[in-house]
Every structure is written in C-alpha cells, then in structure tokens.
Amino acid sequence: MGEKEIESLGETLKGYKEKVPTISKGFLAWEQDLVFTARMPGCLFSYDPKRQEGCVPTDTLLASIAGCLAIDVVTFLQKMRAEIKSFEIETTGERNPIPPQYFKSVNMVIHLSGKDITPKKLDRAISLSHEKYCSVYHCLRKDMKVNVSYIIEENV
C-alpha cells in the first residue's frame, strides 16, 4: 500500500473525527447499594460490582477499546473496497491482582467475513487505528499490552 493510499485512508475518517466534540459529558447517579446508573448522550447503562444489576466499569472500558477499534477498522476496510458481511470482536483483559487493578494486557480477536478482505488490508487498518486514530487506545496506560489478532472466515 503506497503512501498516497495510506493518506487517503486517513482522509476517510477526517469528516467523522472532525465532528467528535472536544468536550465529553456524562452523568452518574447512585441508585442503591453500590449500583449506579450512567447516562451519556445516546446511552444508558448501570454499574454494579456484583454484576447483578449491571456491569463493572472495567467491562465498559474493554467494550470502549473494542468499539473504537471496530469503527476505525470497518471504515478503513470499506474504503479499501472490502465488503463486510459480519464483524465481531472478542475481548479479554488481564488485570493486576492487587490494587490498583488496572489492565496489564488486553487481547482482542476480530472475527469477520465478507468479500475482498485480506490479511494485508486488515493489518493496515488495525495499524492505522492503533498508531493514530483510536482515541480510547491513546487514553490507556503506556505499559499496557494490547494484542489484536483476527480470523477471516470464509467469504460468503
């Protein structure tokens, strides 16, 4: 992939990334015990350390990393004229055993199928996301290992 094509991929996200507000707002309210409801524009969910009324905050961090990567990768693959039929990311995080229990590593496995999806295209899309575009990735600890692999399922 030439330098001009890589620049073109970056331009693909330009309109979307320029619309991302520089200030993000949210609201968190205590419901009961240790259950809280979080509200962001377009989203409502609950936190519960017992995982009975909601998820734990670190679960949403894993989802955020995967969501950010997914938006970038799908955008780039579409720009590369790949036709995506299915796309899922399986995430696993390994946490430090003692407080603070930050993630030491995050592993993501992309499962996708479609037409004209090649390892070369996917490697480039993942690389661009990590190197430049994934805001969540760039908010994380620098010593956290993030591994991304993929399984391209038979083109249907």
CATH of the domain at 55: 3.30.300.20
Neighbours of 93 (CB within 10 A): 18
Domain count, the chain: 1
Q: In what order do the strands lie in the sheet with 83-95?
A: 83-95, 103-115, 145-152
pLDDT at residue 48 in the model = 97
Q: Cα dihedral angle (43, 49, 50, 53), rounded to 10 degrees?
A: -20
Residue with tokens 């969501």: 67
Each residue's pLDDT tens digit, 40-65 = 999 999 999 999 999 999 999 999 99
User: Is there a contact between 75 and 82 (Cβ–Cβ < 8 Å)?
Assistant: no
- Given a cut of 70, the residues of the chain with pLDDT beneath it are 1-17, 155-156
Q: Which domain holds residue 85?
A: 3-152
